[in-house]
Chain A
Amino acid sequence: MAITEPPKILTSRLAFEDSHRLERYLATGGYQGLRKALAMTPEQVAAEVDAASLLGRGGAGFPAGRKWSMLRKGPIPYLVVNGDESEPATFKDHVLVERDPHQLVEGVVIAAYALQVARAFIYLRGEFALGLERVQGALNEAYAHGALGRDIFGSGFSLDIVVHPGAGAYICGEETALLESLEGKRGFPRIKPPYFPAAIGLYGEPTVVNNVETMSNLPWIISNGAAAFTALGEGRSTGTRLFALAGHVRNPGVYELEMVKTTFRDLIYAPVLGGGILHGRELKALIPGGVSAPWLGPEHLDVPLGQDEVAACDTMLGSGSIVAMDDHTCVVRAAWRITHFFWRESCGQCTPCREGGGWLEKILRRIEGGAGREEDLDLLMDACDNIAPGVSWPPQQTTICVLGPSIPSSIASAIRMFRDEFLLHVKEGACPHG
């Protein structure tokens, strides 16, 4: 496929050194979307977002407009922005938060107006020290500019935004855990239903939670209209998306691409994008959508980067991150490291996740270290089956949140795709890759 050159919706200012400052923002069309929104009714703004078919960019891909309309029947006290970004290999919100914080703030004010909330919180992972400074700096400038605070741009609408730091816990990206954390508690996911914090959210009140990238799309959508947004992409996957490419590629980084119009092959091999596999090696496997997603092989390179297109391969576009692994990669080690992560980050509330994760980690470590046994492969699959019966995709839910059932994804993928390599580890007690 040819790589299209869509308008830059999210990354238009990144070439500027001072992309995070108000002056630059105003000189490049900043806060025009908000001015336009304030001249519309909240219902019209919400309808525009709904018409844009903006799919949530946090991982689950639920349409933002639909989420909002489920709630707009009664007053909504809170809007919470999810900037916890801790899914391994995902690093696109990091860029938005540090490099274009005003775009995020403008998006939040637009959403707050559409939802008529008076208070919004931006939850950023605590490790984003610079991001916290940049977002607070943007808020300070926005207050002084009249784009935030009392009577925004003379519209009568008032809003306060508080930036809130996390403190190092992957699970706090799960929206109900995030709300617990924002309430000053341990990040324990809440029991569902309700499936959206919508109904019973922050302090037990209706709350909308949306991702940083989701919010950052709003200024452009309102400025240019939903039709311009849906003109990009295909089907349900409209607009552009930030893809975070990492691993064994020449040019890792964050790329804004039109949805569905680009394939994994384009992203990894195009000279203007990934530039191919490092050292001229071959691609062995790739992980789409964050480490919770099942892996794909070179035979999937021509799959377009769209939500439904990737879902059709029994995996997910998820958080928009892609990890390329070359033919020298030890897949046992890769699966072990991902499992090690889940085990370390399990909040411990559910037995399958807490105990199962630990077992799987131990068995994989044993195989990787050359002390594996023949029956270990079956044992792995058995344990996986206990955590997510059938080990299918999407996984069956046996736990409070989907962290637990995500653990089998990488293990089942690695065994399915590279069984021989696992057996070699077991039989020879060694790794073919040294």
Chain B
Amino acid sequence: MSHLSEDVLARARELVGLYPHPRSALIPICHLAQEQDGWLRPEAITEIADMVGLTPAEVLGTASFYDMLHTEPVGRYLVSICTNIACMLRGAYDLLEHAEQRLGVRPGGTTEDGLFTLEDAECLADCGRAPCLQVNHRYFGNVTPEAFDQVIDDLTAGRLDSEVPTHGTLIRVRREGGLRVDGQQIAEERAAMAERRAEAAGGGGGGA
């Protein structure tokens, strides 16, 4: 039996079919695996490697480059507090300190109950509402210490379940319609283009 669920596998196969080369689906599929497990478990990495035609080490090596792909477990909620310049000017480090105290962990740490992982983040592109944060990559802006406590209370009580889904940035993304990519068709398209390019280069006096 596979580690990744039928649903994740089906969506992963669909992703592979969207690209001229399967490897392009690597990052999107990693997001799907995190939707299921919260992080990239070794079993998931092995199955992803199979799907995109790489070795598990290659998948891990690529994934480890990206901040959003976790090669170690994280809490149910990933709380990312931006401390970059615009947020810093509006009190982000005070907010981070408050968060450390409230959650009892340092950036990178996870609370004992496994609910929260705290993160010191770079600019989240919401600087107009500084200081801001994301929980599982859903925005909260103009966050005061009181507002922070409220968010944590609401999350703990399950009051934000519709605003803040569990992990996976693609969890609510579904593709409907569109041309399906067929490997054969792409190969033909590419060959025809290469031919036309060669013609253009040869016949057009080497303009390009």
Residues of A within 8 A of B (CB): 70-71, 73-75, 77, 85-91, 93-94, 118-119, 125-130, 132-133, 136, 139-140, 143-144, 148-150, 158, 160-170, 181-187, 199, 203, 205-206, 244-248, 252-254, 287, 291, 321, 323, 325, 329, 333-334, 337-338, 341, 344-345, 347
Inter-subunit contact B85/A338 (CB<8 Å)? yes
Residues of B within 8 A of A (CB): 18-21, 23-28, 30-31, 52, 61-63, 65-69, 80, 83-86, 88-90, 122-130, 134, 136-139, 169-179, 181, 189-190, 193, 196-197, 200-201, 204, 207-208
Inter-subunit contact B21/A183 (CB<8 Å)? yes
Inter-subunit contact B138/A129 (CB<8 Å)? yes
Name the one of B21, B124, B129, B179 contacting A203, with C-beta atoms under 8 angstroms: B21
Inter-subunit contact B20/A203 (CB<8 Å)? yes
Inter-subunit contact B169/A91 (CB<8 Å)? no
Inter-subunit contact A329/B177 (CB<8 Å)? no
Inter-subunit contact B89/A325 (CB<8 Å)? yes
Name the one of A73, A244, A323, A347 contacting B85, with C-beta atoms under 8 angstroms: A323
A118 to B68 CA separation, bound complex (whole angstroms): 31
List residues of chain B with CB within 8 A of the CB of A149: 177-179
Inter-subunit contact A186/B61 (CB<8 Å)? yes
A182 to B20 CA separation, bound complex (whole angstroms): 11
Name the one of A128, A167, A321 contacting B67, with C-beta atoms under 8 angstroms: A167
Inter-subunit contact B176/A253 (CB<8 Å)? no
Report the nearest B residue to A170, measured CB to CB: B122
A248 to B90 CA separation, bound complex (whole angstroms): 7
Inter-subunit contact B137/A127 (CB<8 Å)? yes
List residues of chain B with CB within 8 A of the CB of A139: 175, 177-178
List residues of chain B with CB within 8 A of the CB of A163: 173
Which of the listed residues B66, B85, B126 has the most CB atoms from chain A within 10 Å of its own CB?
A: B85
Inter-subunit contact B69/A184 (CB<8 Å)? no
Inter-subunit contact A323/B175 (CB<8 Å)? no
A246 to B68 CA separation, bound complex (whole angstroms): 25
Inter-subunit contact B89/A130 (CB<8 Å)? no
Q: How close is A414's CB to chain B, nearest CB, in angstroms?
A: 12
Inter-subunit contact A90/B125 (CB<8 Å)? yes
A334 to B84 CA separation, bound complex (whole angstroms): 9
Inter-subunit contact A165/B130 (CB<8 Å)? no
Name the one of A94, A143, A344 contacting B125, with C-beta atoms under 8 angstroms: A94
With contacts A183-B21, A246-B127 taken as known, whether A74 is within 8 angstroms of B177 at the C-beta atoms is no
Interface pairs A-B: 8 shortest CB-CB: A143-B177, A168-B67, A167-B66, A168-B68, A184-B23, A184-B26, A246-B86, A246-B127
With contacts A74-B208, A252-B128 taken as known, whether A130 is within 8 angstroms of B139 at the C-beta atoms is yes
List residues of chain B with CB within 8 A of the CB of A253: 128
Inter-subunit contact A126/B128 (CB<8 Å)? no
Q: How close is B140's CB to chain A, nearest CB, in angstroms?
A: 12
Q: How close is B74's CB to chain A, nearest CB, in angstroms?
A: 13
Name the one of B84, B90, B190 contacting A77, with C-beta atoms under 8 angstroms: B190
Inter-subunit contact A252/B177 (CB<8 Å)? no
With contacts A143-B178, A168-B68 taken as known, whether A184 is within 8 angstroms of B62 at the C-beta atoms is yes
Q: How close is A155's CB to chain B, nearest CB, in angstroms?
A: 15
Inter-subunit contact B169/A287 (CB<8 Å)? no
Report the nearest B residue to A78, measured CB to CB: B20
Inter-subunit contact B65/A127 (CB<8 Å)? no
Inter-subunit contact A125/B197 (CB<8 Å)? no
